[in-house]
């Protein structure tokens, strides 16, 4: 009889454990609204790795540029993908409330992401740490908060791109827009495609 009770208890405990760990963590409403920025205001994206080259992407006349000397066209798809992921970010869970696990979660060597508006005023700060063990989530810290959150987007690979990876791909030969970007030999002036 004792064995039957023990087996039933073990079976109930196993069933409860399986059910409990299959349930999503409940995130307080305050955290759910903390993360996703209003991307309609974004005019500048700054990416600042802990060690490395600072990347500044800016929008000018509807085109994204990789800031430099000179500015170069940025990969529109890469910029759009990053902005879409930022807008769709949702908190999965609060990982920690302190700085105690910053090394483990990649916060100390994370990439600082700053979004700025047309007036070059920063309105959103995010530190992007390591990718989660599920390969879908990312550990982030919003602003100066000590809390580290797991969000539902894979951002780590996007914000650690090299400056060259942010450049627009070369145009295909014969493309009218490529021809319009070619410069004349002598004056450096842009020629319309029909004059090339």
- Whether 98 has a pLDDT exceeding 60, the answer reads yes
CATH code, 24-163:
2.60.40
Q: Is the peptide bond before 156 cis (omega within 30 degrees of 0)?
A: no
Helix (H, G, I), strand (E, B) or coil at 148: strand
Question: Which of 78-92, 140-154, 164-178 is the least confident region?
Answer: 164-178
**Averaged pLDDT for residues 84-97:** 92
Helix (H) / strand (E) containing 23: none
Residue 18 has a pLDDT of: 59
* pLDDT at residue 179 is higher than 60: no
Lowest mean pLDDT among 33-37, 58-62, 64-68, 169-173: 33-37
Model pLDDT for residues 3-16, shown as the tens digit of each residue: 888 787 777 777 65
**How far is the C-alpha of 1 from the C-alpha of 188, rounded, in Å?**
94
User: 124: phi > 0 → left, psi -120 to 50 → alpha, else beta; which?
Assistant: beta
Q: What is the mean pLDDT of residues 74-103?
A: 93
Looking at the whole model, is its pTM more than 0.85? Answer: no
Rounded CA-CA distance 126/128 in Å is 6
Rg, C-alpha atoms of the chain: 24
Average pLDDT, the chain: 81
pLDDT value at residue 4: 81
Q: Which two tokens stand for residue 178?
A: 């490529």
């Amino acid at each position: 009889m004792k064995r039957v009770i023990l087996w039933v208890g073990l079976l109930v405990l196993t069933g409860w454990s399986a059910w409990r760990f299959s349930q999503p963590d409940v995130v307080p409403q305050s955290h759910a609204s903390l993360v996703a920025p209003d991307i309609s205001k974004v005019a500048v994206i700054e990416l600042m790795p802990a060690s490395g080259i600072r990347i500044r992407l800016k929008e000018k006349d509807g085109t994204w540029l990789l800031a430099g000397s000179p500015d170069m066209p940025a990969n529109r798809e890469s910029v759009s993908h990053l902005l879409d992921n930022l807008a769709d970010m949702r908190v999965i869970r609060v990982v920690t409330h302190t700085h105690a696990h910053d090394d483990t979660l990649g916060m100390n060597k994370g990439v600082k992401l700053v979004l700025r508006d047309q007036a070059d005023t920063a309105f959103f700060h995010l530190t992007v740490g390591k990718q989660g063990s599920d390969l879908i989530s990312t550990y982030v810290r919003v602003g100066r908060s000590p809390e580290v959150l797991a969000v539902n987007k894979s951002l780590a690979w996007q914000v650690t791109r090299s400056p060259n990876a942010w450049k627009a791909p070369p145009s295909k030969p014969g493309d009218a827009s490529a021809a319009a970007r070619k410069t004349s030999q002598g004056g450096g002036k842009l020629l319309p495609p029909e004059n090339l």
